[in-house]
Amino acid sequence: MRLVGACPRPVAFFFEGGAGPPSVAPARPVRQARLFARAPLPQEPPPLSLTAEQIAIACARACDEMKAEDIVILDLRGLTQVTDYFVLCTGLGDRQLKATAENVRVSLKEQGVEKLGAEGEAAGGWVLIDYVHVVVHAFSQEARDFYQLEMLWGDAPKIEWQTEAESD
């Protein structure tokens, strides 16, 4: 074994055809590779047990649990390829926005639905949670009035998410 360059630890070289250097012409040195246990390859995600519409309704109900206001589900299928549904809701303050977004994340995770990503801060007045087929927008009242997504996607039909008992 010999030290090579400024390597912090010794690197072992073995020669082809034997354990040590041959007495005649040296053969090409071959570095002995260590065998590392490889991490298992990621498995295919399980198929969705919920449809996109069911996920959207579950998001709306999670928003409702945190007393968010003006909860609307817009069906964007056929209007855009970005997503299938928008869930829009309004929170009265930063704490309510943060609690609403967190409740959506936790509720859907319990149902086996993982988010793709999340953007925004409650302090900024807009939190977005992306579930690929469903995008949740939790707004402050000022941000919702400014962006007016219901007007922008005015052609999108609204999905009824409350049962008769809930709407009373």
What residue segments make up the domains of the chain, in order of their start? 52-161
Residues 6 or more apart whose CB falls under 8 angstroms from that of 150 comprise 72, 74, 88
Q: What is the pLDDT of residue 28?
A: 58
Q: What amino acid occupies position 150? A: E
pLDDT tens digit sequence for 113-167: 989 999 988 888 999 999 999 999 999 999 999 999 999 999 999 999 987 555 5
The verdict on pTM exceeding 0.75 is: no
What is the second-level CATH architecture of the domain 52-161?
2-Layer Sandwich (3.30)
pLDDT tens digit sequence for 33-74: 555 555 565 555 555 578 999 999 999 999 999 999 999 999
**What residue has token string 């995008």?**
135
Q: What is the pLDDT of residue 21?
A: 52
Q: What is the pLDDT of residue 3?
A: 47
Q: What is the pLDDT of residue 19?
A: 54
What is the distance between the alpha carbons of residues 138 and 155, in angstroms, rounded to a whole number?
Answer: 21
